[in-house]
Structure 1
Amino acid sequence: MVLALDNIASYYGKTPILWNVSFDVPKGACLAVLGRNGVGKTTLMRTIMGLTDRSTGSIRIADTDLSGAPTHIRATYGIGYIPQGRQILGKFTVRENILLGTFARKDGKEDIPELCLKLFPYLAENLNRRAGLLSGGQQQQLAIARALATGPQILLLDEPTEGIQPNIVHEIGQTLRMLNKELGITLILTEQHIKVARALSDYFIILDNGRIVARGPTAEMSDALIEKHLTI
């Protein structure tokens, strides 16, 4: 297993958001994290990155326990993070945003990886453009490129298709599938679009009130299960 969480609880202040969350992800697999709004999906991603106020339990990459490690150390162990809302730096250029990701590389390389330029031709042609002038879909591509610049073995994607036009959703889905199935990068993504989650993932977990209430191979994600846990 490339990533394993055991009995995780996570807090903002004194308020617990996640309770007794345990799962593992095989190397090269894609895990979809599903659930209604406000059930703890984003908190789970932030907990893996060490961005909540406090957490208990164990988070391991391979044989390394990162439970007490700060965020920048976790990044050097190969975790790339694309947060909800993208959080690109609008006053920075495309080039500068991508280069920020290289700070977490263990190999010391400070150039934009060729992969980023190959995957996103628009970004390659507009490296000196201010990121704040990009469309929502282009900013999401930039956020993915920035995470790839870290040289990750795991990518965490929080609502990667949120607020993006349908044609770009399809392009991003194809990119993520290639990163996962051809390059072997492990993906963990939260997703509101069940069609996207089914198309990309090998396994799923469903959160409700900060706990895992269902899990399994994506092939076993039935319509009845979706109706019970995901419809409003």
Structure 2
Amino acid sequence: MLMQMSSMSAFYGKTQILRDFSFALDEGQCVCVLGRNGVGKTTLMRSIMGLTDRTTGQIEFAGRQIGELPTHERSRCGIGYIPQGRQIFGKLSVRENILLGSFARADGQVEVPEMCTSLFPYLAENLERRAGLLSGGQQQQLAIARALAVKPKVLLLDEPTDGIQPNIVAEIGETLRMLNKELGMTLILAEQHIKVARKLSDRFLMIDNGRVVAEGDIDELTDELVDEHMTV
């Protein structure tokens, strides 16, 4: 087991978002976190990274309790994070954005990993280009490359296809499939696109009002569950 969350609750100020949240993740899995907007998917990702105001409960990662660690130490443990909205640094170059990710590597090496340039040829050819000049899809590729520079054991991806053109969604989906199925990287994917979730994931978690209301193998994700917990 790579990660286990036990009875975790998360707060912003006095407002509780996650409630008694528990799940386990095996190495090499791709787990998709589903639910309507505002039910806690982003808070789950931010809680794993230590970016909420307060959490209770336990988070174990690779045999280590990380719930009390600061964010940079969680990254050094091997957690890469692609936040919603990408949050790349537009005034920095592509190279500089990727190198920022490498500062969190446990081995201390600051470099643009070969994996990043081989997965994303456009970025490899435009390392000196200002990141703010990239398209939305290219910026998402850059955000993934920056997270890969951590040399992560697990990637957290918060709505990676949000606001992306359909053809680029397919490219990003193929990249994630390759990382997971061919390279064995573990993924936790918060996603609204059911088609993407069913194509990429091994398992799913359905969240409603900050709680896990359904989970299982991806072939157990029925249309009835989707209608009940995702239809507005």
State the Cα distance separating 1:62 from its structure 2 match. Answer: 2.2
The residue that corresponds to 2:123 in the other structure is 123
Number of residue pairs matched by the alignment: 232
Which amino acid is the alignment partner of residue 180 of structure 2?
N
Q: Which one-letter code corresponds to 1:29 in the other structure?
A: Q
Gaps of 5+ in 1: none
1:48 matches 2:59? no
Structure 2 spans left out of the alignment, 5+ residues: none
Tell me how far apart the structure 1 counterparts of residues 223 and 17 of structure 2 sit (CA, whole Å).
27
Query: Which residue in 1 is equivalent to 2:148?
Result: 148
CA shift at 1:142, angstroms?
A: 0.1
Q: Which residue of 2 aligns with 1:37?
A: 37
Moved over 6 A (4+): none
Partner of 1:61: 61
Q: Which amino acid aligns with 1:228?
A: E
- The alpha carbon displacement at 1:52 in A equals 0.2
CA RMSD of superposed structures (Å): 0.5
Specify the SS of the correspondent of 1:51.
coil
| Aligned partner of residue 109 in structure 2, secondary structure | coil
Distance (Å, rounded) in 1 between the aligned partners of 2:153 and 2:182 = 13
Amino acid at match of 1:49: M
Partner residue in 2 for 1:81: 81
Shift of 1:67: 0.7
State the TM-score, normalized to the length of structure 2.
Answer: 0.99
1:180 corresponds in structure 2 to 180
**Structure 1 equivalent of residue 133 of structure 2:** 133
Write the letter of the residue equivalent to 1:168: I
User: Secondary structure of the residue that 2:205 maps to in structure 1?
Assistant: strand
Tell me the equivalent position of 1:2: 2
The 5-angstrom pairing of residues 87-98 of structure 1 reads: 87-98=87-98
Q: For 1:106 and 1:183, how far apart are their aligned partners in 2?
A: 20
Give per-residue Cα distances to partners, 1:162-201, cap 9 Å, x unaligned.
0000010000000001101111110001001000001000
Under a length normalisation based on structure 1, what TM-score does the superposition of the two structures give? 0.99
Q: 2:138 is matched by which residue type in structure 1?
A: Q
Q: Equivalent residue for 1:196?
A: 196
2:83 alignment partner AA: P
User: How far apart are 1:122 and its partner, in Å?
Assistant: 0.4
CA distance in 1 between partners of 2:196 and 2:43 (Å) = 21
Matched, 1:216 2:216: yes
Q: Which residue of 2 aligns with 1:168?
A: 168
Question: How far is 1:108 from its partner?
Answer: 1.7
Percent identical: 67
Deviations 1:16-63 (A, max 9, x none): 000010001110000000000000000000000000000000001121
> In structure 1, what residue type is equivalent to 2:107?
D
2:228 corresponds in structure 1 to 228
Q: For residue 227 of structure 1, what is the amino acid of its counterpart?
A: D
Q: What SS class does the counterpart of residue 42 from structure 2 fall into?
A: helix
Task: State the alpha-carbon separation in 2 of the partners of residues 69 and 107 from structure 1.
Answer: 18
Instruction: State the one-letter code of the partner of 2:104.
Output: A
Q: 2:70 is aligned with what amino acid?
A: P
